[in-house]
C-alpha cells in the first residue's frame, strides 16, 4: 500500500486523529464490493470525549450530547452512537425513525418543514419537540410540554436573503412576535421547558456570548425552562482553535447564569463527530496517461457523494516506485465529476482500490442519484464488514 497522501497535524481530533491504516489495509485486502464506506469508531469516540469534556466545564449536571442525524443516518453509525449514550437531534419523521431503530434516546426534533401531522407523530413517538414557528406552535397537542427554537442574529453572509437574523425559530426579542407566541401558549395551555438556538458556528467567545445571552433572556420570560440547546457548529473551535475551548464554555456558563437558575445544556454536533472518521473505498475502473499525468476513473461519483464534504486521499494501490500527477474522477457523464486534480500520487492501475477520508457526514444523507448509481454501503471498522 502507498504512503499517506494527506498532511498530518498535531490536532487530536478531526483529520489530526490518526487514520486506522492497518485496519483499512485489512479491509482493502478483503476486496470488498465498492464503493463502500467504513467508519472508524475510535475516531468518533475521540470526538465524543472532547465535546463531553467541554460540556463538563459548565458544571451543570444533566448536560448532554446529541447527534444531528441529518449528518448521517446510517444504521452502523447511529447504533454506535447509541452505544455511547448519545441522543438524537432530528429534522424529519424519517430521521426520527432511523434514530429510534438504532436505539438512540432521548430524541429531539426541530425543523421549519414539520407539518402538523409530523408534529403529532413525533410527539406520540416520545420525541421532544422544539417548535420553529407560531404556526407550528398551534399544532402542538394541548396541555403538552414543548421546546421553542429561537431566531438569533447571525452574520448576513450566512443567510440566503442578506438578512441579519436566522430564518429558523421565533424572534423572541421582537415584542409583537413574542406576544403572539405567548397568546398561543396560553390558549393551548402549553408549558415551555426548553429553548433551542443556533449560530452559524462557534469558534470563540465572540460567537457564544450572544447565543448564551439570547437563551438566558428568553428563559427569564419562561420560568419553566430548565434546558437549552446550543446547536452544533463547533468544528472550528475543537479542531482549529482548541485554546479557546475552556474560555468558550466558561463564557457560556456566565451568560446562562443570567437566567437566575441552573440550565442544563444540550449540544448537537453532526459532522464534527463523524466526518473525518468515514473512509470511502472506491475501485479504479480505467486509467489514461499522457505527458506525465494520469486520469483515473473510479466507481464512486464525487458529484453524487461529495455535496458538502471535503475529502483527503488516504491510500492508493501498491507502491510501484513511480510518482504521477493525478486527476481522480468519478464514473458519470458529467465533466466536473472530480474528486481532485493535479495531486502527486503513486502510479495507479485499473482494479486498484483508492481510499478517501472525509466520508463520515453528508454523503448518504445528501446523495445525488445521477445515472441511478446506488449509494455506497456503510459499516463500522471492527464489524463483520471491517477488520480491526
| Residues recognised as catalytic | 333
Grid cell 456570548 is found at 209
Judge whether 107 and 147 are in contact, CB under 8 Å.
Answer: no
Judge whether 136 and 117 are in contact, CB under 8 Å.
Answer: no
Q: In terms of DSSP bridges, do strands 312-315 and 353-357 run parallel, antiparallel, or are they unpaired?
A: antiparallel
- Neighbouring C-alpha atoms within 13 Å toward the C-beta of 341: 4
| 3-state SS class at 108 | strand
| 3-state SS class at 292 | coil
Nearest of 356, 284, 311, 365 to residue 67 by alpha carbon? 365
Judge whether 311 and 356 are in contact, CB under 8 Å.
Answer: yes
Judge whether 217 and 260 are in contact, CB under 8 Å.
Answer: no
Judge whether 20 and 42 are in contact, CB under 8 Å.
Answer: yes
Grid cell 466520508 is found at 359
Amino acid at each position: 500500500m502507498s504512503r499517506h497522501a494527506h498532511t498530518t497535524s498535531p490536532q487530536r481530533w478531526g483529520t489530526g486523529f490518526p487514520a486506522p491504516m492497518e485496519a483499512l489495509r485489512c479491509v482493502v485486502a478483503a476486496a470488498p464490493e465498492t464503493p463502500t464506506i467504513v467508519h472508524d469508531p475510535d475516531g468518533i469516540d475521540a470526538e465524543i470525549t472532547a465535546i463531553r469534556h467541554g460540556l463538563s466545564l459548565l458544571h451543570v449536571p444533566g448536560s448532554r450530547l446529541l447527534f444531528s442525524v441529518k449528518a448521517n443516518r446510517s444504521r452502523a453509525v447511529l447504533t454506535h452512537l447509541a452505544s455511547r449514550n448519545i441522543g438524537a437531534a432530528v429534522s424529519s419523521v424519517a430521521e426520527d425513525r432511523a434514530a429510534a431503530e438504532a436505539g438512540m434516546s432521548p430524541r429531539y426534533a426541530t425543523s421549519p418543514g414539520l407539518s402538523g401531522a409530523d408534529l403529532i407523530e413525533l410527539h406520540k413517538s416520545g420525541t421532544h419537540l422544539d417548535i420553529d414557528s407560531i404556526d407550528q406552535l398551534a399544532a402542538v397537542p394541548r396541555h403538552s410540554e414543548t421546546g421553542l427554537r429561537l431566531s438569533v442574529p447571525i452574520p448576513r453572509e450566512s443567510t440566503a436573503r442578506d438578512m441579519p437574523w436566522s430564518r429558523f425559530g421565533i424572534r423572541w426579542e421582537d415584542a409583537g412576535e413574542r406576544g403572539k407566541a405567548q397568546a398561543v401558549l396560553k390558549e393551548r395551555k402549553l408549558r415551555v421547558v426548553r429553548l433551542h438556538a443556533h449560530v452559524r458556528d462557534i469558534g470563540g467567545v465572540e460567537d457564544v456570548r450572544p447565543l448564551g445571552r439570547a437563551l438566558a433572556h428568553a428563559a427569564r420570560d419562561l420560568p419553566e425552562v430548565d434546558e437549552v440547546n446550543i446547536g452544533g457548529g463547533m468544528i472550528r473551535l475543537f479542531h482549529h482553535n482548541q485554546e479557546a475551548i475552556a474560555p468558550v464554555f466558561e463564557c457560556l456558563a456566565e451568560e446562562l447564569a443570567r437566567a437566575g437558575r441552573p440550565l442544563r445544556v444540550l449540544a448537537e454536533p453532526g459532522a464534527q463527530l463523524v466526518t473525518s472518521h468515514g473512509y470511502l473505498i472506491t475501485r479504479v475502473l480505467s486509467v489514461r496517461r499522457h505527458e506525465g499525468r494520469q486520469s483515473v476513473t473510479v466507481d464512486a461519483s464525487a458529484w453524487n457523494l461529495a455535496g458538502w464534504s471535503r475529502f483527503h486521499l488516504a491510500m492508493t494501490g501498491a507502491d510501484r516506485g513511480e510518482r504521477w500527477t493525478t486527476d481522480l474522477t468519478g464514473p458519470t457523464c458529467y465533466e466536473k465529476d472530480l474528486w481532485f486534480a493535479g495531486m502527486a500520487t503513486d502510479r495507479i492501475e485499473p482494479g486498484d482500490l483508492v481510499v478517501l477520508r472525509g466520508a463520515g457526514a453528508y454523503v448518504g444523507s445528501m446523495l445525488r442519484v445521477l445515472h441511478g448509481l446506488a449509494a455506497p454501503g456503510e459499516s463500522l471498522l471492527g464489524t463483520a464488514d471491517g477488520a480491526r
